[in-house]
Amino acid sequence: MVQAKPEIKNMARENNSKMDLDVITIRSMHGWSSLNLRDLWKYRELLYFLVWRDIKVRYKQAVLGIAWAILLPVVNIVIFTFVFGILLKQNQGGINYPLLSAVGLLPWGLFAGALQRCSSSLVGNTNLITKVYFPRLIIPVASVLSGLVDFGISSLVVFSLVLYYRVPLSWNMLWLLPLTLLVVMTSLAVGLWLSALNVQYRDVQHIVPFLVTTWMYASPVAYSASLVTGRILRIVYGLNPMAGVIQGFRWAIMGGDPPGELFVVSIIMVLVLLVSGLFYFRRMERTFADMI
């Protein structure tokens, strides 16, 4: 009987150990781990590229270029002031209506633009989704983040009116950063639902403009949320996540009473929409390449 040499045995063991290292076990994930949010950081360069690409495409071959970010809010402020401030003569508590509408349009412009881009983002990136692997969540996130450039430029219009009407600056303005983050979270929360649904049902892209218009009048953009009185009614009104956010912007810039329970309810709604949207998006992600 021939016995194997010790050197041959050691080599066989080393080869087996190397083969064991190459084995990858794939298991189904549950709970928060199934979202796999760490991949967003791994693919951060792709996220940066998509954000920059969306910004360049938006203003490519545009006559006015990035000046549209100033022209559009100015036109809306003029229209809102004429219709609601002059014709309807709303009682806004002695506050200058152009400033009131400008502050309301600032977060709303970021939300509405991000929602429209995010809802069609997956369908608009069909070539990427069907050919290359990457976390699909990057596409709607990039669509939302690209709107921050317009938001920053539009804020110049608001602060010009703040200086014109000599509104005193306060420490409340430090809340603008977390409030802006809340607008981004709200846009992403709703956008995740709409973008995933748009892959399966293309009618969604036709519903989004109607949804945005209806949502604007249901939010305190052209009027102050102080017109909604009664604790119960304000809590119900706060189920619209943008209601508390817009009122928070007005409190941070113009002062007055803090949004209170309206803001708390809106934050809860944003978190509910965001968590449910993430799980729904991840659930549908495996079918995007087949249905798109």
DSSP 117: H
| 75 within a domain of the structure (yes/no) | yes
pLDDT, position 190: 94
pLDDT, position 16: 52
Number of domains the chain is built from: 1
pLDDT, position 142: 92
Question: What's the CA gap between 127 and 111, in Å, rounded?
Answer: 27
Nearest to 95 by CA among 214, 253, 218: 253
What CA–CA distances, in Å, run from 133 to 138, 266, 288? 11, 35, 12
| 105 within a domain of the structure (yes/no) | yes
| 19 within a domain of the structure (yes/no) | no
Query: Please, is 195 exposed, middle or buried when counting C-beta atoms within 10 Å of its C-beta (0-12, 13-18, 19+)?
Result: buried
| 191 within a domain of the structure (yes/no) | yes
Domain that holds residue 86: 36-217
Assigned token pair, 115: 């929602």
| 6 within a domain of the structure (yes/no) | no
Question: What's the CA gap between 270 and 260, in Å, rounded?
Answer: 16
Question: What's the CA gap between 89 and 252, in Å, rounded?
Answer: 25
| 204 within a domain of the structure (yes/no) | yes
DSSP 82: I
pLDDT, position 21: 47
pLDDT, position 109: 92
| 107 within a domain of the structure (yes/no) | yes
- Residue type, position 252, single letter: A
What CA–CA distances, in Å, run from 186 to 112, 213, 263? 10, 16, 13
| 15 within a domain of the structure (yes/no) | no
Nearest to 236 by CA among 273, 190, 269, 270: 269
CA angle 134, 140, 146 (to 5 degrees): 110
Nearest to 115 by CA among 195, 222, 200: 195
Note down pLDDT in tens along the chain; length 292 residues.
444 445 544 555 555 544 444 444 444 455 445 556 777 788 888 889 989 888 888 777 666 667 777 888 888 888 888 888 777 766 555 668 889 899 999 999 999 999 999 888 888 888 888 888 888 889 999 999 988 988 998 899 999 999 998 888 888 899 999 999 999 999 999 999 999 898 888 888 889 999 999 999 899 998 888 888 878 888 888 899 999 999 999 999 988 778 778 888 989 999 999 999 999 998 888 877 777 7
Nearest to 128 by CA among 201, 54, 24, 187: 54
